[in-house]
Structure 1
Amino acid sequence: MAPSSVLRPRHSYSRGEFADHFKPLKSQAYNDIARGATSHYGLRSISWSPLGNFIATGSADKTLRVWNPEKNLVRNSTELKGHSAAIEKVAFNPVKEAELASISNDGVVKIWDVRTKTCVNEVKGLGDANALAWAPDGTSILAGNRSGELFHLSPARSTVVSTHKQSIGTTQMAFCWSGEKIFLPARDGRIRILSYPELEPVLHLNHATGPGESTEFTLKGHTAACLTVELSPTGKYLATGGADSIVALFDTKDWLCQRTITRLSGPVRSISFTWDGSYVVGGCEDSSGLEVVHTETGEYIHTFKTAGPCEAVAWAPTKYCLAYSDLGILRVIGLEAERAERK
């Protein structure tokens, strides 16, 4: 279905090189032309496989599809059928190229083998589920629902390993690269830092608190609900996106907000870093266009023009290629240059 990846020495683009590289490029649409854009209506989540051989997309119309990035026609893709409700999140196992997890808002997590096109395991009864993340070693999954429940799952078990109840619901989550901590954005604008798999607060305040007040240290970077969180590949920055249209960048040494990205318009639903951590982009549900920002300086580097809002964004794990949703379909930019470099 997909070509084998050839790992080559990778070049990080400077700020000037980045804009020059992408300026002449055009995005490529991945869509079922016969059925129209509505065949993939409401694309909510995008995930690249670890080596970049596959792109998985999950949509509000229950469509779960795995694409070959090199071939944009639908006949070269695979539709994985089985979900009976809107798909909220898809995520490839970070250490297995062909293992994919998906979660739908009827409380079902499914584990797929994308090569055989089969569902190899499922876990039911997770409530109004909306969040999912693999542990970095690929041996477990953390899922969550809008009621604040967190579920520790094994990809090989059809029952929940353990359940943890939060007082506030979460919308997405991200692991640290050691797998020992999980970052949880909350609807009150905070970001919790919990141990994994115990799911207990890692940091505490070093000053006195009043009676009944929590001593848990949380990150505060938003005036409205925090909706998404992403750790940079270098582990240096944690990016958070909120309903206040802001992306905040925290350093992971002192947990201070180093800079904020404010040119976005509308709730920030997804965030993605380039493979080298040099650039970051946020996906909003209300505004068109994607603004790329230099992580270290906060400088706006380049704008990808789009026809409509782009709720889901995902940089490829090994190259400067960006996948994003636009008017209900998947688009990818940067593959043209990658092909030219391979020749």
Structure 2
Amino acid sequence: MPPPVRNRQSLSKDKFVGYFAPLKSQTYHESTQSRGGGVGSIRSVAWNPVGSLVATGSADRTLRVWNPEKPNARFSTDLKGHAAGIEKVAFNPVKDAELCSLSKDGVAKFWDVRTKACVNEVKDLGDAHALAWAPDGSSLLVGNRSGGLFRISPTESAILSSHPQPVEAYQMSFCWSGKKVFLPTRDGSIRILSYPELEPILRVNHAVKPGESDEFILKGHTAPCLTTELSPTGKYLATGGGDAIMSLFETQDWICKRTNTRIVGPVKSISFTFDGRYVVGACEDGPGLDVTHTETGEHIHTFKTAGPCHALAWAPTRYCLAYSDLGILRIIGLDADRK
């Protein structure tokens, strides 16, 4: 296990470009590309909570944990056992060596990456495609393409509870207290539910027509809302949609403060820097990752890519971005750490 990385200071807007402009991305090489890999192979990217490891899950069933300082696959950990393509990977937010992986056949596996052992498995989750840990690491939410929402535990093989949804949900996120879940849906809205009850937590303050719901719902997309991400400060909720828009909702009054319309395709992954100052979204169409300043909505910088990006994640402790590019993992920001 590599040692924890050093924390970094925040960068102001005028210094961001100067910091990243001279840096080159590091490519992480798979030992083989013969298992169905290629363009779009990596479906999910995740850092562990101390920023010392990066996990990738691929459509070809490859599940790998990388040491960012050693890009060759022989220094990585290959976790084998999934029988279908991997849709999501996520580290336990309070344990730096516990990883959950979710495959398309509805199986969630829990791994101790130090021993390569699968320590728990939960089945029968349907055509699963969304996964999020509760902030205390005690449970997770899984969503599938049939509208199913499941609460599972890293220590129990049985599903804790099932919560069918009226509309298919996508990649959800938690508030930092763990008491609320932000649930993006196929109709473009974002529901705010209590946890673990998974009931609407906010109500509108005006009269509704007979038979209509008084649930307060965020509306910010004209196509399915595909992902959500809460800023580290808790001030903004970012949402990404199939309409190629990334929206920023202010969490005090739940008003959409800013939108990024520079993105040219569906936004399937969003990530804030550790300080919440900058946010970037992964785009399925076209090269380039646009970084936006959270407070002003200004376009700050574009990371050039060779092709579409399906998943990305800023490191939790420093300005270091991991992302997929033509099915390969790249990380930018490591050069600065060696200076």
Q: Does 1:16 align with 2:14?
A: yes
Shift of 1:7: 4.0
- Residue 49, structure 1, aligned to residue 52, structure 2: no
Q: One-letter code of the match for 1:116?
A: T
Residue range with higher mean Cα deviation, 208-217 or 240-249: 208-217
Q: 1:201 to 1:110 in 2, by over 3 A?
A: same
* Equivalent residue number for residue 320 of structure 1: 319
1:46-99 per-residue CA deviation (whole Å, 9 max, x = no partner) reads 000000111000011111110000000000011110111111100000000000
**Cα deviation, residue 212, structure 1:** 1.4
Q: What is aligned with 1:285?
A: 284
**1:254, CA displacement in angstroms?**
0.2
Q: What TM-score results when the alignment is normalised by the length of structure 1?
A: 0.96
Asked if structure 1 preserves the Cα contact closer than 8 Å seen for 2:5 and 2:51, the reply is: no
Partner of 1:205: 204
TM score, norm. by length of structure 2:
0.97
Question: Residue 297 of structure 2 aligns to which amino acid in structure 1?
Answer: G
Which whole-Å CA distance do the structure 1 matches of 2:49 and 2:23 have between them? 24
Which residue number corresponds to residue 32 of structure 1?
A: 30
The answer to whether the 8 A contact 1:37-1:328 is kept is: no
Cα–Cα, structure 1 residues 136 and 196, in superposed 2: closer, same or farther, change >3 Å? same
Deviation at 1:3, TM superposition (A): 1.8
Secondary structure (helix, strand or coil) at the match of 2:280 reads strand
Q: Which moved more, 1:28-37 or 1:152-161?
A: 28-37
Offset at residue 326 of structure 1 (A): 0.2
Shift of 1:313: 1.0
Gaps of 5+ in 1: none
What SS is found at the alignment partner of 2:143? strand
Alignment of 1:187-198 (within 5 A): 187-198=186-197
1:280 and 1:295 in contact (8 A); partners too: yes
Question: How many residue pairs are counted as aligned between the two chains?
Answer: 338
Distance 1:37 1:333, change over 3 A: farther
Letter in 2 for 1:3: P
What's the % identity of the aligned pairs? Answer: 67
CA distance in 2, matches of 1:135, 1:31: 32
Q: Secondary structure at the match of 1:57?
A: strand
Q: Distance in 2 between matches of 1:148 and 1:36?
A: 34
Deviation at 1:6, TM superposition (A): 4.5
- The CA deviation at 1:32 is 2.1
The corresponding residue for 2:236 is 237
Cα deviation per residue 1:170-200 (whole Å; 9 max; x = unaligned)? 1110000000000000000000000000000
Letter in 1 for 2:171: Q
Equivalent pair of 1:224/1:244 in contact (CA under 8 Å) = yes
Q: CA deviation at 1:33?
A: 5.6
> 1:266 touches 1:284 (CA, 8 Å); kept in 2?
yes
Contact 2:35 2:60 in 1 (8 A): no
Q: Give 3-state SS (helix, strand or coil) of 1:18's partner.
A: helix
On the 8 A contact 1:31/1:37 being kept in 2, the answer is no
Return closer, same or farther for 1:38/1:320 CA change in 2, 3 Å cut-off. farther
Write the distance in 1 (CA, Å) between the matches of 2:13 and 2:78.
38
Q: Does 1:173 align with 2:168?
A: no
Corresponding residue number in structure 2 for 1:276: 275
Amino acid at match of 1:14: S
Deviation at 1:339, TM superposition (A): 2.1
**Which amino acid in structure 2 is aligned with residue 32 of structure 1?**
E
Runs of 4+ in structure 1 off by over 6 angstroms are none
Contact 2:5 2:52 in 1 (8 A): no
RMSD: 1.3
2:299 maps to 300
Distance in 2 between residues matched to 1:58 and 1:291, nearest whole Å: 23
Task: Give the deviation of 1:38 after TM superposition.
Answer: 5.9
Is contact 1:49–1:55 with CA below 8 Å preserved after alignment? Answer: yes
User: Does the 8 Å contact 1:251/1:257 carry over to 2?
Assistant: yes
In structure 1, the residue matched to 2:252 is: 253
CA–CA separation in structure 1 for the residues paired with 2:140 and 2:35: 32
- After superposition, where does 1:151-166 map in structure 2 within 5 Å? 151-166=150-165
- Tell me how far apart the structure 1 counterparts of residues 211 and 111 of structure 2 sit (CA, whole Å): 45
Letter aligned with residue 247 of structure 1:
M
Please show how residues 212-227 of structure 1 align to structure 2 within 5 Å. Answer: 212-227=211-226
Establish whether residue 113 from structure 1 lines up as the match of residue 129 from structure 2.
Answer: no
1:269-304 per-residue CA deviation (whole Å, 9 max, x = no partner) reads 000000000000000111210000100000000010
User: Given residue 108 of structure 2, which amino acid in structure 1 is its aligned partner?
Assistant: V
| Structure 2 counterpart SS, 1:314 | strand
